[in-house]
Amino acid sequence: MYANDIYVLKIGGSVLTEKGAEKSARASEIERISGEIAAAMQEWRESSMRRMLILVHGAGSFGHPQAMKFLKSGEARDAILTHLAVCELNAMFVASLLRKGVSAIPLHPFCIFSASEDFNALNEQVARILNANAEKSERASDILVPVLHGDVIFNGDSFQILSGDRIVVHLAAHFNAKKVGVGTDKDGVLDSKGRLIESIRHTEVEKIASLRGSEHVDVTGGMLEKVRLLADLASKGINSLLFNAKRPLSVLKFLTDERLLGTEVTV
C-alpha cells in the first residue's frame, strides 16, 4: 500500500500512568518515551530509512477507573467523563512528543467512530496522515505521527469501550504493518514460574496457563486479552512483540530494530 514501512507501536497505560491511583501520570516516563521515539525517527532520517509510525496508547488511570464507573452505571455522563479523562493523557503525551520534535497528531476514536464495529472512518483519518507523509520529504521532522488511544465510542444507540489493543491489531492488519510492538510494564508473557516465554505461536495461546487478566483495574482484559488479539493478528500473517516499555531504551531499540527482550506472538 505504501512505499514506506509502517511501524505500529502501542505504549500501555501501565507505563504512562500509575494505575493504582486515579489520573496519576508518570510525567518522567512520558518524557523519556517521547525522547526515545524522537531519537529513533532521527535515526530513520540519518540512515534514509523509509518508515512511518502509528502510535497508540492505553488509558491507565486516565480511563480504566472511569470506565469501570460507566460500566456499572451505564450512564452517558460517565461514558463522556471516561473519554475526557483519556483525552487528558493523550494531550500530555502529544505535547511531550511535540517538545521533542515529533509532529504528533492526536486522533480521538470517540470523535471518529460512526459505529461500534465500523473502523472505516478511523482508517480514513489515519490513511490521510500516512498519505501526506508519502508526499513529503524524507526529513524526520516532516513525518506526521497519528497518536490514537483506547476510548469510549458511541454507535448512535449506546456507548462502548474500544481498547487500544483492538485499535493496534486493526490498524496493523489494515495497513499491513512491517512491525508491531506493544510496550507494557512487564518483560512479556511469563510462565507459571516467572520465566519469560520468548515466543508464542498464535495457535498456542489458550494452552498457556499463566495468562490471566490484570492485577489492576482494567476493563479491557489485561495480558490475556492482549495476547489473544495479537494471536488473531498473527493468524493474518503479522507477528508482534510484547516488551517492557518501562526499561530505558526499549522503545528506541524496538523502533531501530535492535535486539530486544520480549515475547513474540507469531504465525
**What SS3 class is residue 14?**
helix
Residue 101 CB contacts under 8 Å (≥ 6 apart), including other chains: 38, 42, 140, 141
- Cα 242 to Cα 66, 83, 198, 217, 229: the distances in Å are 26, 26, 9, 20, 12
Please name the amino acid found at residue 57: H
Asked if 190 and 197 touch (Cβ cutoff 8 Å), the reply is yes
pTM of the model: 0.94
Residue among 182, 185, 159 nearest 84 (CA): 159
What's the CATH code of the domain at 36?
3.40.1160.10
Asked if 189 and 226 touch (Cβ cutoff 8 Å), the reply is no
133: containing domain: 5-266
Alpha-carbon gap, residue 234 to 85, rounded angstroms: 32
Alpha-carbon gap, residue 126 to 129, rounded angstroms: 5
Question: Distance of alpha carbon 228 from its chain centroid, rounded?
Answer: 15
Within 10 Å of residue 204's Cβ, how many Cβ atoms? Answer: 14
pLDDT tens string 101-159: 999 999 999 999 876 567 999 999 999 999 999 887 555 557 999 999 999 999 888 89
Could you tell me the three cell numbers for 4? 514506506
pLDDT tens string 211-258: 765 455 566 667 888 999 999 999 999 999 999 999 999 999 999 999
**Could you write out the DSSP letters of every residue in 53-115?**
EEEEE--GGGTHHHHHHHHHH--HHHHHHHHHHHHHHHHHHHHHHHHTT-EEEE--HHHH-SS
Neighbouring C-alpha atoms within 13 Å toward the C-beta of 227: 29
Total domains in the fold of the chain: 1
| Average pLDDT of the residues of the chain | 91
Beta bridge partners of 189: 197
% of the chain at pLDDT higher than 70: 92
Instruction: Look at strands 51-57 and 144-149 and give their pairing.
Output: parallel
Please report the pLDDT score of residue 244 as a whole number.
Answer: 98
